[in-house]
Structure 1
């Protein structure tokens, strides 16, 4: 059986994220692994007439700072050190991949919520991470 030395948990800043983090903390404790946490702030498209633009840099930085504060508060509940807490801005899957490679992650843990109807056609972050990751991925059912 493979042993995990460094686990990366990618979270949403909501109750489902807290559930995913608790599961990842339990896994890290079970394996005696280091745990790193990531929240990605996605680019916000702004409609300007007929043009679709990304949010101004200052707004993006403000959102990332707010997300960082929320993430640190959630991570404090599980006694995760600030140096293991990461935020990034951009498309979610590539940001997860980049950090996982940079930190030499053995296991990525993220939430999975089944989608129905039109929602099933959009936002397949979990599936994208699973198919593109170079390490094991655990999708925690949060639906």
Structure 2
């Protein structure tokens, strides 16, 4: 059986499933005596203050969203009595940033949530698929449906 030394929980700060993924990753880290880190990625979303299409000089709310995500993750950690070895709230492409943090942290297991996709949504690439196919470590995709 594989022994994991560092578990990375990839969580979405806006969804109710984030604490569930974090608790599952925490349980795995405890079972293996491993470090636990967590990552949340804020996608860069410049917006037009009028709500129209992107303008040449859009208002960037990305940093505000990052601060909100940090506060959310810190709250989840306090509630679950988790002291992560590292907490990353980064800005960029979700899949790329999860993989970058995995490399930087040295995690050997990524825990990520997965929801089934149907219809047109099944045709598009998803974050968990990208992580599973490109990570240089084991990935546990938690079924959230």
- What TM-score results when the alignment is normalised by the length of structure 2? 0.87
What aligned pairs does 1:26-45 form with structure 2 within 5 A after superposition? 26-45=27-46
2:137 aligns with 135
5+ residue gaps, structure 2, are none
Aligned to 2:123: 121
5+ residue gaps, structure 1: none
Q: Which residue of 2 aligns with 1:3?
A: 3
- The structure richer in helix per residue is 1
**Runs ≥4 in structure 1, deviation > 3 angstroms?**
45-57
Q: TM-score, normalised by structure 1?
A: 0.89
Secondary structure of the equivalent of 1:43? coil
Give the superposed CA RMSD. Answer: 2.1
State how many pairs are aligned: 142
Structure 2 counterparts to residues 1-143 of structure 1, below 5 A: 1-13=1-13, 14-46=15-47, 56-57=59-60, 59-81=61-83, 84-143=86-145
Q: How many angstroms apart in 2 are the aligned matches of 1:6 and 1:18?
A: 19
Deviation at 1:122, TM superposition (A): 3.0
